[in-house]
Chain A
């Protein structure tokens, strides 16, 4: 038994396939690659795989994660090479590392930060944009209403925005943001765009995820908004 964590890229060509589609695609690629996948026990054996937080439909990324179990240990580079030979254009494994043998199934539950680059069209001026960002960051709270969730609720996004800045990109300004993510509450880049008073269809050319990571532990305040849920889940 051996476990590997893979970082992969989702490019232009496949930005319109969903997280579920990506899972199926990777699983089939592993089977084509002939990796000796470890299967679950029971009537309906399936490979032991786990995936990082889903990427919004339409976004590209350099930072996606999944983990797989195989029955025979092999070189991490071999895993990477064999997988890449079987992946369609638009998916590429960029990094593979083996986890120590004693580690349980990697579930990525500790990932709680995501970085994005949002490429904006030239329909919004650099200074205009900077003004909107400054105003947003100066707000003590940013309440949004999430109608899609049940029960419907309101969330303060301000503490979930760790960084937001304007950079110059190749064609027009780029917004770089680092947002909280994960099952304990997170902000979506689309929500930040809306808070900036921008229209997604009109202004956004591309969402691109640049980073998935874990906050340093000192940064996690037990009394924070989502803290109770966090503790309940950890019990």
Chain B
């Protein structure tokens, strides 16, 4: 263990030292010596972000509920803390026992999104664990990845001894059981667990520039590798003694997972494709879990988590039940994801605790034609009905999410976003009457990123310059005082696309970018596109081949061996339907 006084001295010199001090209510401190397998749960982003990731809370609960296992947490140290650790020559430690990660048997890494990957390497390095799996020996922990990013494990294949593809709450205990054995034997046992992928038991044969080529198993390896999922969500373990952070994190509230998966089938959506089927928790289970969690945490808000909360089949009963049980105690209910229709607004109306500030909708595209292409089933009628319901019941701020760079998109589709926003603005002014001055519409525009396992996996992303041009169109046409426009940097979208559709060769690029100093790439103030350009160039690869290239429909793709979502034929047919005019 690190000397306490040494650690305390570091804390005095960093911002928000409470990121590193643990002791949160409901944190678990198990007896180190008594545990048969010790797991460090690593989250490659800063504490406030990582603490809001439900998956990690579930796994922490599952492991610590088991008598033989222990789980502790570790979030990415902010750059000031990293500098202090490196200067002091002190290793990265877990929160709970402040032991170096290298003393654990297993380091379990969540891969929440592509732009955190350099942080994974950086954290392993800070812990004194060689980032490349090939450089690790018997003395090092097993480093096992999982989470949303694992649906295409290839770009991170070099850095993991194993990855779990799919949902973890059942598989993780099997993984820890296997990890009781010495390293070599443990790996053999891991290879036999359904859904567990050992990259070095597969071989990649690139067949052109970009992620084209087949990954084939060496003898005995699972092929295809079929992702894990929980069949009965209602019976799946769920923590009601949720961790209560001291710091103000992204979401400091009770999270209830009411539903997993989504049946809407939007063609750009990787989560919709990879978390099938759509599963619900029972109403009674949820009401009980909400009461338990509020009693165990003291949070004043319960958030109903789902890809689209209002799609839950008994959402009205759930909301009524929760407000009846909790309202009197000053505990509110939050819906993080709404559909753009009058029904959603009516539900939101029922629960709105805080002053009526804003509602968020995601039309994604400006024209019905383009919404048909991406299979976002939202008519303009619905959207205006939602706006009508919102304005007439006291809301005056709307937030709208759009994407640009979608397949078949023309400049007219982009201009149509402006047109739609202006018409909503006019409508809102009329509806709000004397309160029209408070009307505000925030428009958030992201670049489309083609993702593996979706019908759009073959589609090339718009060139960075094209995306920038489309942004300019919006900036020029969306000029109203009541409109706030925000967008993602096209260079960030390009990197996200390249890593999403990455093959095994990208491991070298990620490693090199990290060596050059890339980290916290999802944080605007830290993202340095020049480092990535240099890394690609030094590895003899082109970002464009991964991000912008339209991939041949009949070629093997670098992630075809991972059976995650719909079959490849079905995806191809869906893409044809999309491009053929959209009659699905």
Residues of A within 8 A of B (CB): 13-14, 16-18, 20-21, 24-25, 27-32, 34, 37, 39, 43-47, 57-58, 86, 88-90, 201
Query: Are the CB atoms of B299 and A28 closer together than 8 Å?
Result: yes
Does B11 count as interface, using CB distance less than 8 angstroms?
yes
Query: Chain B's interface: helix, strand, loop or mixed, by majority?
Result: loop
CA distance A17 to B25 in the complex (A): 13
Which of B25, B247, B294, B331 is close to A21, meaning CB atoms less than 8 Å apart? Answer: B247
Contact in complex: A58, B298 (CB < 8 Å): no
**CB < 8 Å: which of B12, B296, B299, B331 contacts A201?**
B12
Task: Among A28, A30, A90, point to the contact of B244 (Cβ < 8 A).
Answer: A28
B205 to chain A, nearest CB (A): 52
**Is the pair B330, A47 in contact by a Cβ cutoff of 8 Å?**
yes
Q: In the complex, how many angstroms separate the beta carbon of A58 from the nearest chain B beta carbon? A: 6
Tell whether, in the assembled complex, residue B330 and residue A14 are in contact, meaning their CB atoms are under 8 Å apart: no
8 smallest A-B Cβ distances: which pairs? A28-B298, A31-B298, A16-B17, A32-B298, A21-B246, A17-B246, A17-B18, A44-B354
Q: Does B297 belong to the interface (CB within 8 Å)? A: yes
The interface residues of chain B lying within 8 Å CB-to-CB of A17 are 18, 21, 246-247
How long is the Cα–Cα vector from A25 to B300 in the complex, in angstroms?
Answer: 12
The size of the chain B interface, using a CB distance under 8 A, is 29
Q: Is the Cβ of B12 less than 8 Å from the Cβ of A31? A: no
CB < 8 Å neighbour of B330 from A25, A45, A88: A45
B136 lies within 8 A of chain A by Cβ: no
Interfacial chain B residues near A32, Cβ < 8 Å:
25, 295-298
Q: Which residue of B lies closest to A204 (CB)?
A: B12
Asked whether, in the complex, the Cβ of A88 is within 8 Å of the Cβ of B23, the reply is yes
Cβ-defined partner of B18 (8 Å) among A18, A34, A201: A18
A45 to B246, alpha carbons, bound, how many Å?
21
Which chain B residues lie closer than 8 Å to A47 at the CB level?
330
Asked whether any CB of chain A lies closer than 8 Å to the CB of B329, the reply is yes
Q: List 10 interface pairs A-B (beta carbons < 8 Å), by A numbering.
A: A14-B21, A21-B247, A28-B299, A32-B295, A32-B297, A37-B330, A46-B300, A88-B25, A89-B23, A90-B23
Q: Are B13 and A201 in contact (CB under 8 A)?
A: yes
Cα distance, A118 to B295, chains bound together (Å) = 39
Q: Which residues of B contact A13 (CB under 8 A)?
A: 21, 23
Interface residues of B in 257-302 (CB under 8 A from A): 294-300
B248 within 8 A of A: yes
Residues of B near A58 (CB, < 8 A) are 11-12, 17
A37 to B352, CA, bound (A): 21
Residues of chain B within 8 A of A90, CB atoms compared: 23
For B19, give the chain A residue with the smallest CB separation: A16
- Quote the shortest CB–CB distance from B84 to chain A (angstroms): 12
B355 within 8 A of A: yes
Q: Which residues of B contact A43 (CB under 8 A)?
A: 352-356
Nearest-neighbour CB distance to chain B for A45, whole angstroms, equals: 5
Whether B246 contacts A31 by the Cβ 8 Å rule is no
A208 to chain B, nearest CB (A): 14
Within 8 A of A (CB), among B154-195: none
Residues of A within 8 A of B247 (CB): 17, 21
- Given the interface contacts A21-B247, A24-B248, A25-B246, does A46 sit within 8 Å of B25 by beta carbon? no
User: Which of B21, B246, B298, B352 contacts A27 (CB under 8 A)?
Assistant: B298
- Which residues on B sit within 8 Å (CB–CB) of A44? 353-355
Question: When the two chains form their complex, are residues A88 and B298 in contact, meaning their CB atoms are under 8 A apart?
Answer: no
> Cβ of A29: which chain B residues have Cβ within 8 Å of it?
25, 298
A contact residues around B295 at 8 Å (CB): 32, 34
Asked if A88 contacts B18 (CB within 8 A), the reply is no
Chain A residues in 8 Å Cβ range of B299: 28, 31
Contacts of B244 in A (CB 8 A): 25, 28
Is B139 interfacial (CB-CB < 8 Å)? Answer: no
Apart from A21-B247, A45-B353, A86-B298, list 10 A-B contacts with CB within 8 A: A16-B17, A21-B246, A24-B252, A27-B298, A29-B298, A31-B300, A32-B297, A37-B329, A47-B330, A201-B13
| Residues on A with beta carbons closer than 8 Å to the beta carbon of B356 | 43
| Nearest chain A CB to B331 CB, angstrom units | 8
A24 adjacent to B246 (CB under 8 Å)? yes
B337-360 vs A, CB cutoff 8 Å, 1 = contact: the mask equals: 000000000000000111110000
Max chain B Cβ within 10 angstroms of own Cβ: one of A16, A20, A25, A46: A16
Chain A residues closer than 8 Å to B252, beta-carbon distance: 24
Cα distance, A47 to B329, chains bound together (Å): 9
Which residues in B have their C-beta under 8 angstroms from that of A16?
Answer: 11, 17-18, 21
Query: How far is B139's CA from A173's CA once the two chains are assembled, in angstroms?
Result: 46
Whether A14 pairs with B23 at a CB distance below 8 angstroms is: yes
Q: Give the distance to chain A from B368, nearest Cβ to Cβ, in Å.
A: 36
In the complex, chain B residues 236-253 whose Cβ is within 8 Å of any chain A Cβ: 244, 246-248, 252
- What mask results when residues 3 to 20 of chain B are scored 1 for a CB within 8 Å of chain A, else 0? 000000001110001100
Q: How far is the CB of B432 from chain A (nearest CB, A)?
A: 18
In the assembled complex, the Cα of A90 lies from the Cα of B25 at a distance in Å of 11
CA distance A86 to B25 in the complex (A): 9
Name the distance in Å between B431's Cβ and chain A's nearest Cβ: 21
Decide if B24 is an interface residue (CB 8 Å cutoff): yes
* A32→B18 CA distance, assembly (Å): 22
> Measured between C-beta atoms, what is the minimum distance from A150 to chain B in Å?
21
| Residue in A closest to B356 when the chains form the complex, CB atoms | A43
- The docked-state distance in angstroms from the alpha carbon of A16 to that of B13 is 11
**Residue of B24, B330, B352 most packed against chain A (CB within 10 A):** B330
Bound complex: CA A80 to CA B252 (Å): 26
Q: What is the minimal beta-carbon distance from B246 to any residue of chain A, in angstroms?
A: 4
Residue of B nearest to A45 (CB): B330
A27: B residues at CB distance < 8 A = 298, 300
Min distance, Cβ B32 to any Cβ of chain A, angstroms: 18
